[in-house]
Amino acid sequence: MLAAHLVPGYFAATRSQRRPEWSRRRRAILWLVALGSTVAPDLDVIYNAVFRGFLNHSFLWTHSIFVHLGIGACWLLLHRIGRWPYLETLVGLAAVGGLSHLLLDVASHGAPLLYPISLHMFGAPSARVLKGGFWAYITDPIFLAEPYLFALALADWVIRQKPAPRVKQFVLGGLITGLALFTTTFLLLLPTLQSAVVTLIGS
């Protein structure tokens, strides 16, 4: 999973803004934590791509479920104390972001959830994706989850704007049509794309 990790953060952030007494700055921080926590587990990949010349993980702790369950336990403790609602919300967003990242990774290409106890990759990705990495992933049917997740977030955003019924129907209809066209084109071109990736990886 690539940028679509941000989608659960978007939904979490939009539902964390319910207290009118929180300032604009505090609300902005909520958005930052909600979105940042969804991509934070992959920061080592970004670092490696920029500074080391390879696109892969070098630090597995960020994909261990124990780390994110620990953050969730901190949220539960704060929730039971009930004295710091803003801090509780921040920690809750961090927990949701991290756990959603692991869930999407398991669905798309697997994750070492029990690290450091085990290096077993949980999930059911195709052998092609496991072997080919990034290029194999973006030319695999599982990649379609990315535009569909973004479309779901965009549809939610449009509905939240409360536009006129005709505008809403036009935008949502265009979104559905665009997804259908993208899906059809992607699937038709898939054999060609996969052959190109085989050549690229082989070279």
Whether 203 shows a pLDDT value over 60: the answer reads: no
Task: Decide: pTM greater than 0.75.
Answer: yes
Could you please report the per-residue DSSP string of 139-165?
A: TSGGGGHHHHHHHHHHHHHHHHT---H
d(CA 71, CA 99): 10
pLDDT (0 to 100) of residue 202:
63
pLDDT (0 to 100) of residue 54:
67
Q: Tens of pLDDT along 11-41?
A: 999 988 877 788 999 999 999 999 999 999 9
Angle at 22 between CA 91 and CA 28, to 5 degrees: 65
Q: Tens of pLDDT along 109-163?
A: 888 899 999 988 888 777 777 777 778 888 999 999 999 999 999 999 999 999 8
Residue partners of 82: CB distance under 8 A and separation at least 6:
88
pLDDT (0 to 100) of residue 21:
81
pLDDT (0 to 100) of residue 19:
77
Among 125, 146, 179, give the residue marking a domain's end. 125
152 and 81 in a common domain: no
Q: How many domains is the chain built from?
A: 2
Q: For residues 80 and 54, which has the higher predicted lDDT (pLDDT)?
A: 80
Among 65, 98, 125, give the residue marking a domain's end. 125
Q: Which residues constitute the domain of residue 64?
A: 1-125
8 and 95 in a common domain: yes
111 and 133 in a common domain: no
Whether 51 shows a pLDDT value over 90: the answer reads: no
Among 85, 110, 125, give the residue marking a domain's end. 125
Task: State both tokens at 70.
Answer: 């620990």
135 and 99 in a common domain: no
Task: State both tokens at 199.
Answer: 């050549």
178 and 121 in a common domain: no
The model's confidence at residue 167, banded by pLDDT at 50, 70 and 90, is: very high
Asked which of 49-63, 76-90, 164-178, 186-200 is least confident by mean pLDDT, the reply is 49-63
142 and 116 in a common domain: no
Q: Tens of pLDDT along 55-112?
A: 667 778 899 999 999 999 999 999 999 999 999 999 999 999 999 999 999 988 888 8
DSSP bridge pairs for 14: none
146 and 118 in a common domain: no
